[in-house]
């Protein structure tokens, strides 16, 4: 298949590795954190800000884009990159997680998922083939098949059904993709229309290791450009998150990128890099920021607290981002207190810098030594010498 993935360095003491994903819209250095732009925008950020942060790739959601503005409109604009004015890599997820979470509004069958829009109650149907069509028409660099993600905890029978459906839908998705991908013109970063997206497979099975192995073997046998571990970070204990990730990572093809969906905290990312994961996404840095919770080298800080009303220091003295170089805790707290939009903007910029800078230093540690020390307890907060562009 089309994706090129090059491993450039490995850590001697763990499964951590540094690599490069070659996409139609530029190379992506891994391990990588992908900011979540659900409806084609990372909340409170402009594309210029994301570029200043050094974001290499963002994630957008098929369900939300199909509800508004509709995949046809995105296609009319020449694809998602042109519609949102983002010339770098984009991954679109299938929207399956969002559809499955529409409690009382959806019904899962072997054919696909029937559901009602959370916006106006209108009926819709997502099949593996339609989800492929939607994503191909929008022109993302990496697309995901429809899968079934179940709640935690779930019965063995529920998980078994999920693995069965996910496997069948993966086969159908790949068949549609191979038959139709060439008919959707994909424009790369140079304007050429000869590029094609990459299709990842998704492993399900909850915390049941036997079912996880069955799913990993089946999805690997079907064959994809990369492999994702889904169905985690849904309420399971941390030890199960790490245990499942470690086992599944070891069962997936060594020469393909591995993507842990929806994870997680800074600690989660570093630990799961050590388990062999290459790609991550999570709403945590942006959602927390909008709620006044910011990440620092000493842990999370609730900037809205009255204790910071007269604090002249930056959010994190060890951080070199634009926000920490210029603004005080007292000022940012004031912005939250008076309901200013700029409060979310500044907090989000800082939190994304924290995540992206952390991943830059993880890549450096893998490539040049020191990852074991980083994993072993060195604070994962921003490097004091780091500067935003």
Catalytic residues: 93, 281
- Count of beta carbons in the 10 Å neighbourhood of residue 46: 12
Q: How far apart are the first and last CA of the chain?
A: 36
The pairing of strands 4-10 and 17-23 is antiparallel
Which pair of tokens denotes residue 384? 């004091």
Token code pair at residue 199: 């299709």
Nearest CA among 101, 96, 97 for reference residue 112: 96
Helix/strand/coil for 36: strand
Distance from the Cα of residue 128 to its chain's centroid: 20
Strand partners, 27: 22
Residue 107: φ, ψ to 5°: -140, 125
> CA 375, CA 155: separation in Å to the nearest integer?
34
Short-list 163, 142, 121, CA closest to 62:
142
Q: How many CA atoms lie within 13 A of 345 on its CB side?
A: 12
Estimate to the nearest angstrom the gap between the alpha carbon of 388 and the chain centroid: 22
Under 8 Å between Cβ of 111 and 163: no
């Amino acid at each position: 298949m089309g994706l090129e993935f090059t491993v450039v360095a490995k850590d001697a003491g763990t499964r951590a590795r540094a690599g490069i994903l070659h996409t139609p819209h530029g190379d992506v250095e891994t391990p990588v954190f992908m900011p979540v732009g659900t409806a084609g925008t990372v909340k409170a950020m402009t594309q210029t800000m994301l570029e200043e942060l050094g974001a290499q790739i963002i994630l957008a959601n098929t369900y939300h884009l199909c509800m508004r503005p509709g995949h046809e409109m995105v296609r009319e604009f020449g694809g998602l990159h042109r519609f949102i004015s983002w010339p770098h890599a984009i991954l679109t997820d299938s929207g399956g997680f969002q559809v499955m979470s529409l409690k009382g509004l959806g019904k899962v069958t072997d054919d696909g998922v029937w559901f009602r829009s959370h916006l106006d109650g209108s009926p819709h149907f997502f099949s593996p083939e339609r989800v492929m069509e939607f994503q191909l028409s929008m022109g993302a660099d990496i697309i995901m098949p429809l899968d079934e993600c179940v709640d935690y905890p779930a019965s063995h029978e529920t998980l078994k059904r999920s693995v069965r459906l996910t496997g069948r839908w993966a086969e159908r998705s790949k068949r549609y993709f191979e038959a139709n991908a060439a008919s959707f013109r994909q424009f790369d970063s140079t304007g050429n229309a000869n590029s094609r997206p990459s299709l990842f497979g998704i492993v399900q099975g909850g915390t049941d290791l036997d079912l996880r192995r069955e799913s990993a073997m089946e999805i690997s046998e079907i064959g994809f450009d990369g492999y994702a571990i889904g169905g985690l970070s849904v309420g399971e204990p941390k030890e199960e998150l790490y245990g499942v990730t470690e086992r599944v990572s070891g069962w997936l093809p060594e020469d393909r990128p591995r993507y842990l969906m929806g994870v997680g905290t800074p600690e989660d990312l570093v630990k799961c890099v050590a388990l062999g994961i290459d790609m991550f996404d999570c709403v945590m840095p942006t959602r927390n920021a909008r709620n006044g919770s910011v990440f620092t080298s000493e842990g999370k800080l609730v900037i809205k607290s009255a204790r910071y009303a007269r604090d002249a220091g930056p959010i994190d003295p060890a951080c070199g981002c634009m926000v920490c170089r210029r603004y005080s805790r007292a000022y940012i707290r004031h912005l939250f207190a008076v309901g200013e939009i700029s409060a979310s903007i500044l907090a989000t910029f800082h939190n994304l810098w924290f995540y992206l800078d952390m991943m830059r230093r993880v890549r450096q540690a893998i490539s040049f030594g020191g990852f074991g020390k980083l994993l072993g307890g060195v604070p994962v907060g921003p490097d004091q010498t780091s500067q935003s562009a």
